[in-house]
Structure 1
């Protein structure tokens, strides 16, 4: 088994789509699902498959993100360049942090239009992509 993608319900699809495309996602497709509801499938350039789905259900009302979802983590190549690009695009990423100390990953936090938190992560040189069991030994 493997995780296919994360799906987030959004209040205003066009606003959220503009945010996530400014973040770097590209639209892979849209689906009308009835009652005015739509979803958009997104992925990063170079990814082999979709990694995010935005779902807009107007009849469900405004999104309440306080229901248990904590955050979405996104790996970046160079955090400083990513923060500069996002700021230039009108997004408001937080400052770079070093939660694991000076030799650990660099991170920054960003919040989408509905309040979903996004963690941007740059791994130190030589670290494999993602978190593995080796990170806890």
Structure 2
């Protein structure tokens, strides 16, 4: 088994697409699911397949992200460069943080238009991509 993608319900599809494309996602396709509702499938250009789905159901109640969801983590190559690019696009990433100390990962946080939190992570040199069992031994 493997995780296919994360799916977020969004209030304003155009505003959310603007945010996620400025973050670097590319649109793979759309599915009309009736009554004005749509799914938009996204991925980063270097990913082999979809990693994020935006679900827009205009007839539903407003999105409430405060009931259990915490955040999405995204690995970046150069956090300072990414933060600069995102700032220029008006996305306002938070300050550079070192949650594991000066030798650990660098992080910055931002929030999408519906309140979903996103953690940007740059691993230190020599670190493998993603989290592995070695992180916890």
Alignment partner, residue 51 of structure 2: 51
Q: In structure 1, what is the Cα distance between the partners aligned to 2:30 and 2:61? A: 20
TM-score scaled by length of structure 2: 0.99
Q: In structure 1, what is the Cα distance between the partners aligned to 2:41 and 2:67? A: 23
CA RMSD, Structure 1 to Structure 2 (Å): 0.5
Matched, 1:90 2:81: no
Structure 1 segments (4+ residues) deviating >4 Å: none
Unaligned runs of 5+ residues in structure 2 are none
Q: In structure 2, what is the Cα distance between the partners aligned to 1:105 and 1:27? A: 29
Report the Cα offset of residue 41 of structure 1. Answer: 0.2
Alignment partner, residue 110 of structure 1: 110
Report the Cα offset of residue 67 of structure 1. Answer: 1.5
Q: In structure 1, what is the Cα distance between the partners aligned to 2:106 and 2:93? A: 13
Report the Cα offset of residue 62 of structure 1. Answer: 1.2
Unaligned runs of 5+ residues in structure 1 are none
Alignment partner, residue 27 of structure 1: 27
State how many pairs are aligned: 137
Three-state SS of the structure 1 residue aligned to 2:59 is helix
Q: Deviations over 1:92-133 (max 9, x none)?
A: 100110000000000000000000000000000010000111
Q: Deviations over 1:64-96 (max 9, x none)?
A: 001111000000000000000000001110011
TM-score scaled by length of structure 1: 0.99
